[in-house]
Structure 1
Amino acid sequence: MTALSFDTSPYAASEKTPARPAVIDFFSGCGGTSAGLRAAGMRIAAAVDLDAAAAATYRKNFPDSEFYEVDIRKLDHNAFDHLVTSDSPLVFSACAPCQPYSSMRHSGSKSRPQERSLLLTLIPFMDRLKPDALIVENVPGLQKIPGGSTWNRFLRYLERSGYSTRWEVIDCRAYGVPQRRKRLVLLASRHGTIDFPEETHGKDLLPYSTVRDWIGDLPAIQAGETYSGDPIHRSGALGDLNLRRIMAITEGGSRSEWPSELWLDCHRKSKGHQDSYGRMRYDDTAPVLTTKCTDITNGRYGHPTQNRAISAREAALLQTFPKDFKFLGGLKSMTRQIGNAVPVLVSKAMGQHIIEHLQTSKIENCG
């Protein structure tokens, strides 16, 4: 099985097919959410992100969409008025940056997490444009911050504004993503009760997608090499010692297989972080891909059989980006963009579900 394909053909409106929902993608990053929603049949009208590298990648892949490279807190609330039409549903998507546990305020011997999220900056835009539906994706744990949290405040706003909401911490594997990644996802609708799309992979369903399914047919390359047919299929260079280390590890194995002369002092003192320098297993799902997932020192990011870390293209495929998705920037920049992205198949599943929900709601309202 090779990397899955995506139907990105136009979702043409007709008498039987309503106009495509228009999407405004807030905190879009390089375009993982937009790619999934486009594949689901939505029209990506606009996106917003402050990151210059991600913005360049986004513009390359969505040339027909308006892009606002700006801090959302400085963006006029009427910036998108011209994109709204009466015959096309409007959908907001948002993956607001949030580090709810990263900033600690100390008081005596105790410390408390200080929440920092931009999720509430959506509210003025929602008040003005009243989108028909909303998709929010974030880190699990945001919903657990006690008392007056951004999450709870945002949910209360949606309830007061007449939205039906449903949120869950999902296992991305359940929607075909070959990666052990869990995310907090919220769906909201102004047109009746909304639920979640049915899972497609797991027990009594399709088997979980594997590393082999997505990267097994890519051409072999060496550490530090870029494949001539795809500049994104590029692997980081390895020094002699790290090359010896990865060569000493079998598929799915870890540094516990090293001979003693390859060990670091810190590894001798602690048995933790066994995933660093480890290899993936072809017939299993990948670990969570981070913003440093093309570096073997930062996790189990070694290629299953080749003596190198996974390439940027392999990382993108394991995030379920289409094979022809283009990333701009150096290897570190591309890896950061990929690691920060929403897995494309997750947003595609949510997008298809919202389209069906809006169509059904329209039929019911007409009835």
Structure 2
Amino acid sequence: MTTPRIRINAVDLFSGAGGLTHGLAKAGINVRVGVDVDPACEYPYTQNNKAKFLLKSVGDIESEELASYYLPRGVRLLAGCAPCQTFSSYNQKASTDDDRWWLLRHFSRLAGELLPELVTMENVPGLLDHAVFDEFVESLEASGYKVSKQVVNCQDYGVPQHRNRLVLLASLVGPISLLTPAQFKAKPMSVRDAIGDGKMPPLAAGSADTVDRLHQASGLSPLNVRRIKASTPGGTWRDWPEELVADCHKKDSGKTYPGVYGRMTWEDAAPTMTTQFYGFGNGRFGHPTQDRAISLREGAILQSFPPNYQFVAPDAPVRMKTIGRLIGNAVPVTLGELIGKSIKAHVKTYREELLSQLAESQRA
């Protein structure tokens, strides 16, 4: 007798360029649609993923519209990463007046109305300190979900980057949790593993590769050329000659930011990719040996996107600020795969309960 197959169908809210969707798909989850308000996300999302793209604010979506994307006779997953800037430790002016603050409530609203069997959310750890997250968890629990939440360093799961993220998983059929690094069979990745040893053609600052337009590095001023030449992997601007140190760093208020204007090291993972990782002065984003900041493509690879992931149409210009935002804001693909495989393991554990629920829903 053939064992009935359980298919997991997903909707990805706040999908961005498709990092979470791509990871879920690698784990075998059928993502049906990605939803985002940023039109720049549509090309990379649809070009690299077998899913539709809905250009719409989550605040304007009704649950009936999302329900139409789920296939019958399948387990439903509602996934997403609400815009995190307002909760980030980098944001010193976080305010409940920011409209993005309330997007998590729309996520909660849709989960409560749809009642999918599974829910997952990824965000910055700082969200744990805000009442809106407590409300989100309480709403899920009131609807019958078993909820787990933990902060993970993506490096522990094979992302070549130090990136701490909050991951929430929720299920209507039983306790659910992330796989451990050992269960995920994670292999540690360094900057060298990701972009070193001839994997990427050498570049000069301000130039682009002739084959891969995304392998493009921002230009440097004459002063910043001198600064990067004076920088060593893992060092800081404190190692420079006095005449190269920025005036702001000579003040007491600037002495606590040694990580800017730094080079990465080959042996370690990269720092957290921000939306401005392509700028040498924006963090430790200097290439370990070449006198430039890392390229857009290198940033994408450090976010665990495949080297051939397309972010812009062949006939469209490569705008560094736009592409940098898409890459820096993305869920690392490997983290998405971890979430997907954790969900698949959960579904396997509670297979009979889910089959019973699906059969009951078909009779209703």
TM bracket, shorter-chain basis: 0.7 to 0.9
The structure-2 alpha-carbon separation of the partners of 1:366 and 1:231, relative to structure 1 and needing over 3 Å to count, comes to closer
Question: Could you tell me the TM-score, scaled by structure 2's length?
Answer: 0.87
Deviation of the 1:59 alpha carbon: 2.5
Q: Verify the 8 A CA contact 2:173 2:353 in the aligned structure 1.
A: no
Equivalent residue for 1:314?
298
Partner AA of 1:318 in structure 2: L
Deviation of the 1:103 alpha carbon: 4.5
Q: Deviations over 1:304-354 (max 9, x none)?
A: 000000001110111111111111241111111111111111110110110
Equivalent residue for 2:195?
215
Q: Deviations over 1:272-297 (max 9, x none)?
A: 21111100000101111111111011
Give 4+ residue runs of structure 1 displaced > 4 Å after superposition. Answer: 14-17, 101-106, 112-115, 364-367
Give the 3-state SS of the residue equivalent to 1:252 in structure 2.
coil
Q: Deviations over 1:154-208 (max 9, x none)?
A: 1111112111110011111111111111111100111211122112499xx9663
**How many Å separate the matches in 1 of 2:92 and 2:151?**
20
Mean CA deviation greater in 310-319 or 49-58: 49-58
Residue among 50, 64, 68 paired with 2:54: 68
Equivalent residue for 1:225?
207
Do residues 347 (structure 1) and 336 (structure 2) align?
Answer: yes
Deviation of the 1:238 alpha carbon: 1.0
Equivalent residue for 1:267?
249
The structure-2 alpha-carbon separation of the partners of 1:244 and 1:41, relative to structure 1 and needing over 3 Å to count, comes to same
Equivalent residue for 1:79?
65
Equivalent residue for 1:194?
176
Mean CA deviation greater in 24-33 or 245-254: 245-254
Deviation of the 1:268 alpha carbon: 2.4
**How many Å separate the matches in 2 of 1:186 and 1:23?**
16
Give the 3-state SS of the residue equivalent to 1:92 in structure 2.
strand
Residue among 41, 51, 72 paired with 2:28: 41
Unaligned runs of 5+ in 2: 313-317, 357-364
**How many Å separate the matches in 1 of 2:100 and 2:167?**
18
Partner AA of 1:354 in structure 2: I
**How many Å separate the matches in 2 of 1:142 and 1:47?**
23
Partner AA of 1:257 in structure 2: D
Equivalent residue for 1:254?
236
**How many Å separate the matches in 2 of 1:352 and 1:17?**
19
The structure-2 alpha-carbon separation of the partners of 1:235 and 1:104, relative to structure 1 and needing over 3 Å to count, comes to closer
Q: Verify the 8 A CA contact 1:246 1:302 in the aligned structure 2.
A: yes
| Number of aligned residue pairs | 343
Q: Verify the 8 A CA contact 2:234 2:263 in the aligned structure 1.
A: yes
Alignment of 1:1-367 (within 5 A): 15-16=2-3, 18-62=5-49, 64-98=50-84, 99-100=86-87, 103=93, 116-145=101-130, 149-200=131-182, 208-216=188-196, 217-270=199-252, 271-328=255-312, 329-363=318-352
**How many Å separate the matches in 1 of 2:335 and 2:94?**
32
Unaligned runs of 5+ in 1: 1-13, 107-111
Partner AA of 1:69 in structure 2: L
The structure-2 alpha-carbon separation of the partners of 1:117 and 1:366, relative to structure 1 and needing over 3 Å to count, comes to closer
**How many Å separate the matches in 2 of 1:153 and 1:122?**
11
Q: Verify the 8 A CA contact 2:151 2:167 in the aligned structure 1.
A: yes
Deviation of the 1:19 alpha carbon: 4.5
The structure-2 alpha-carbon separation of the partners of 1:59 and 1:309, relative to structure 1 and needing over 3 Å to count, comes to same
Deviation of the 1:31 alpha carbon: 0.9
Q: Verify the 8 A CA contact 2:48 2:310 in the aligned structure 1.
A: yes
The structure-2 alpha-carbon separation of the partners of 1:200 and 1:79, relative to structure 1 and needing over 3 Å to count, comes to same
Deviation of the 1:55 alpha carbon: 2.8
Q: Verify the 8 A CA contact 2:8 2:74 in the aligned structure 1.
A: yes
Q: Percent identity?
A: 37
Equivalent residue for 1:6?
none
Give the 3-state SS of the residue equivalent to 1:167 in structure 2.
strand
Partner AA of 2:327 in structure 1: I
Deviation of the 1:253 alpha carbon: 2.0
Q: Verify the 8 A CA contact 2:36 2:55 in the aligned structure 1.
A: yes
The CA RMSD over aligned residues, in Å, is 2.6
The structure-2 alpha-carbon separation of the partners of 1:364 and 1:105, relative to structure 1 and needing over 3 Å to count, comes to closer
Deviation of the 1:66 alpha carbon: 1.8
Mean CA deviation greater in 248-257 or 293-302: 248-257
**How many Å separate the matches in 1 of 2:336 and 2:246?**
41
Give the 3-state SS of the residue equivalent to 1:166 in structure 2.
strand
**How many Å separate the matches in 2 of 1:93 and 1:281?**
34
